[in-house]
Amino acid sequence: MSPSLSEKPMPDLLTGQKSKTDVDPLTDPNFQTVGESWVNNPSMTCRDVNVFYSDKQAIADVSLDIGRNEVIAMIGPSGCGKSTFLRCLNRMNDTIDICRVEGEITLEGKNIYDKEMDIVFLRARVGMVFQKPNPFPKSLYDNVAYGVRLHGLANNKSELDDIVESSLKKAGLWREVSDRLDKPGTGLSGGQQQRLCIARAIAIRPEVILMDEPCSALDPIATAVIEELIDDLRQQYSICIVTHSMQQAARVSQRTAYFHLGKLIEIGSTSDMFTNPTHPLTEGYITGRFG
Ligand SMILES: Nc1ncnc2c1ncn2[C@@H]1O[C@H](COP(=O)(O)OP(=O)(O)O)[C@@H](O)[C@H]1O
Ligand SMILES: [Mg+2]
């Protein structure tokens, strides 16, 4: 066994600082992700993805598949590129001027970075839920109806009513709000607001839902409700969740991807990774030696 990783100086992909030790997967050009990156019949595929902010590299050579009806958790120390990678999946990084994405990412076999890709449509197919619930300053009804109207997904008021109701039901919020749909979304509790944002994402019938630390602003009870919801949603969607909580990753995901300084170190079944991590960096993180 190599010396404790926490005592080893870590190379920094972003500053380019070299490790003082000679064995280091992060600077080794031949480093390969440990574990099974591929699934049968994936919903999305990512191949050799590199992301730069100006000349600083934030993601290096990441390849993985996202399966259907699975929750895949992205974990790793703060600043390792989890949010950056997640944002590649629906081209949210396009909104950051200095950000450049290389590599190939497909959704149902089509490269989402192709010139012909309609980005507004892509973001409907690959929805996103953020860390801090961000309901629009509109009624509950209009929050959920917003994207449906934008994309012309309902032909009349009664269809729209149905979509709003079914989305709120799927998000586990209908019972709590059905009698006050005309009230502002911002008046709900934090946990309810986050479920409203999930309802808003679901209403436009996405195929994949991205969640970036969706519970980190919530109390434990609201967190438990969202985690249960994520498990229900898996029956219909592929879900990629970034979490800084290993317990949460263990509770909600079937596969886990461990990132470290922009590299995908290890990927595989969540139960295997948490009980028997293969790579020493994964082990170090999971056993709490750093993070
Ligand atoms: N908008 C940005 N501009 C410049 N650098 C950024 C930006 N967003 C993230 N970074 C840098 O990219 C690296 C990865 O960040 P991020 O993806 O936010 O990591 P994580 O979500 O794992 O904490 C960090 O070094 C961070 O400082
Ligand atoms: Mg982040």
Is the residue at 162 inside a domain?
yes
Per-residue pLDDT band at 20 (split at 50, 70, 90): very low
Q: Give the span between the Cα atoms of 229 and 10, in whole angstroms.
A: 38
Any domain includes 28: no
Domain that residue 134 falls in:
35-286
Confirm whether 29 is domain-assigned.
Answer: no
Q: What pLDDT band is residue 8 in, cutting at 50, 70 and 90? A: very low
Residue 84 lies in a domain: yes
pLDDT band at 28 (very low <50, low <70, confident <90, very high): confident
Question: Is the CB of 263 inside a 6 Å radius of any atom of ligand 1?
Answer: no
For ligand 1, pick from 53, 89, 240 the residue to mutate: most ligand atoms within 8 Å of CB.
Answer: 53
CA 277/CA 75 separation, integer angstroms: 13
Which residues neighbour 14 within 8 Å (Cβ) at sequence distance 6 or greater?
56, 57, 58, 261, 262
- Going by C-alpha positions, the residue among 258, 271, 234 that lies closest to residue 68 is 234
Residue 89 belongs to some domain of the structure: yes
pLDDT in tens, 155-194: 999 999 999 999 999 999 999 999 999 999 999 999 999 9
Let me know if residue 9 belongs to a domain: no
Backbone φ, ψ for residue 205 (5° rounding): 50, 60
The SS3 assignment for 90 reads: coil
Question: For residue 218, which amino acid is it?
Answer: L
CB distance 260 to ligand 1 below 6 Å: no
Q: Which residues pair with 105 in a beta bridge?
A: 46
Q: How many A from CA of 41 to the centre of ligand 1?
A: 31
Can you give the CATH number for the domain in which 175 is found? 3.40.50.300
Indicate if the pLDDT at residue 71 is higher than 70: yes
Ligand 1 geometric centre to CA of 113 (Å): 21
Task: Quote the ligand 1 centre to 94 CA distance (angstroms).
Answer: 14
Q: What is the 3-state secondary structure (H, E, C) of 216-257?
A: CCCCHHHHHHHHHHHHHHCCCCEEEEECCCHHHHHHHCCEEE
Spatial separation of the C-alpha atoms in residues 31 and 8, rounded to whole Å: 18
Q: Convert the pLDDT of each residue in 214-233 to its tens digit.
A: 999 999 999 999 999 999 99
Q: Give me ligand 2 centre to Cα 82, in Å.
A: 6
Q: Is the CB of 81 under 6 A from ligand 1?
A: yes
- Residues 208, 195: Cα–Cα separation, whole Å: 16
Torsion of CA 187, 202, 129, 53, to 10 degrees: -140
Q: Structurally, how many domains does the chain consist of?
A: 1
**pLDDT for residue 251:** 97
Ligand 1, atom 12, residue with closest C-alpha: 58
Report which DSSP code applies to 59.
Answer: E
What proportions of the chain, in percent to the nearest 5, are helix, strand and coil? 35, 25, 40
**pTM score:** 0.91
Percent of the chain with pLDDT over 70: 90
Ligand 1 atom at shortest distance from the alpha carbon of 96? 1
**pLDDT at position 75 over 60:** yes
Regarding the beta carbon of 193 and ligand 1, being less than 6 Å apart is answered: no
Atom of ligand 1 nearest to the CA of 86: 17
Average the pLDDT over each of 9-23, 28-42, 43-57, 109-123 and give the range with the smallest value.
Answer: 9-23
Q: How many CB atoms neighbour CB 174 within 10 A?
A: 17
Q: Is residue 22 part of a domain?
A: no
- Structural domain contains residue 24: no
Mean pLDDT across the chain, nearest whole number? 91
Q: Using the mean position of ligand 2's atoms as its centre, give its distance from the Cα of residue 163 in Å.
A: 31
Nearest residue to 199 (alpha-carbon basis) of 224, 175, 216: 175
The one-letter amino acid at 163: I
79 Cα to the center of ligand 1, angstroms: 6
